[in-house]
Amino acid sequence: MQQTGPTMRDVAQLAGVALKTVSRVVNCEGGVSSRTREKVDRVVSEIGYTRNEMASNLRAGRSSSMIGLIIEDLANPFYSAVARGVEQVLGTRKLRLITASSEEDEERERELVTDLQQRRVGGLIIVPAAPDHRFIGLEIDKGLQVVFLDRPATGVDSDTVLLDNRGGSAAATEYLLARGHRRIAVIGHNAKVWTMQERLAGFASAIEESGGRVDESLIRLGPVTPADAAAATKELLEMDAPPTAFFACNNRMTVGVLTELRRQCVYHDIAGFDDIESAVLFQLPVALVAYDPVELGRTAARLLLERLSGRRTKEQLVINTRLVTYSGAKGASRRRSARSLGQPPQLGSTAEVPAS
């Protein structure tokens, strides 16, 4: 773990120049004759000198030129796509990304914030896990720049980037309504999660705008795994007046519902939140709410860069979604038979997509 290596002083000594001259050359500051520069450069590559960024940042009173990203789980493709988007934007400014998974654990989230604060990151992008984020408010007051992602933080005011959960869910629901369905089941997980609440709200608003009423007996909240969702689907189908269509609140729910429908050879209409890469191969008709998670990350990173450049206003951006329908037809070579029920993905828009 000891990492010493040659220092600027070593280079200066060997090149027979002053420390500051080496600094000038290494940092391309100019004001050095080309003869001197070459001499220094030669020594640098001879002894394999690498500038110590920690010392550099310390002396200059800068942050560590790193950004922290606290997400739920890096292995989740949604979050890793977000991380990639962040990375893309940061790369243009020579900023590096520290990724850390909170595992939805409130205490771990706090620890990570503290840890990254100690490392003097330039800013933080956080998917809020804790129910209360006032502790981050304190850090923000002390000068930490923060952007919240995917969910709003409670008790704090800072930039936020969200998905259009309501609009997307409403569009999916309208799709099912347009196909004549009046008994639509909803399968989703934990209603405590903000995104889930939003998706339910989108569903409800579409139903109500169509003049219908939400039937609570058709709503099943709680399933986590696809197997849970399949079981819930089975139960729903055994009702006296079973649903004729399904709205699945995320990709795992969609897979679960599809699995059960297929098992029973019942081909009800289904719509779901989140696109699924290999949905073409399901050979079942399904409409999915798609969006670009990489763009979510990029947007958050851009907001953070703006803050680092001095902006102090609070922005809230909503990333649009689009409805993609997979026909399920056997010979279908076109994957997506209808698209963009909402506007195309679009940035900088603070407006939510109205239930069209």
Residues that bind a second copy (CB under 8 A): 1-5, 48, 50-55, 57-58, 61-64, 66, 73-77, 79-81, 83-85, 87, 94, 96-101, 114-120, 122, 138, 142-143, 255, 258-259, 262-263, 265, 276, 278, 280-284, 294, 308, 330-333
Phi, then psi, of 137 in degrees rounded to 5: -55, -40
Q: How far is the CB of 16 from DNA (least distance, A)?
A: 7
* Under rule CB under 7 A, residue 7 binds DNA: yes
Q: How many CA atoms, within 13 angstroms, populate the side-chain half-sphere of residue 61?
A: 0
**Which residue, 79 or 203, is less far from a second copy as judged by CB?**
79
One character per residue 35-64, x = contact with DNA (rule: CB under 7 A): xxx-------------xx--xx-xxxx---
Nearest CA to 220 among 208, 232, 228? 232
CB environment 338-352: b (16+ within 10 A), e (fewer): eeebbbebeeeeeeb
Query: Which of a second copy, DNA, none has residue 18 at its interface (CB below 5 to 8 Å by kind)?
Result: DNA
**Which residue, 33 or 309, is less far from DNA as judged by CB?**
33
Query: Which of DNA, a second copy, none has residue 224 at its interface (CB below 5 to 8 Å by kind)?
Result: none
C-alpha to C-alpha distances, 243 to 204, 214, 238, 266, 291, nearest whole angstrom: 16, 12, 10, 12, 27
Q: What gap in Å lies between CA 332 and CA 353, rounded to an integer?
A: 30
Nearest CA to 335 among 278, 293, 268? 278
**Which residue, 181 or 298, is less far from a second copy as judged by CB?**
298
Residues interacting with DNA, by CB under 7 A?
A: 4, 7-9, 16-21, 23-24, 26-27, 31-33, 35-37, 51-52, 55-56, 58-61
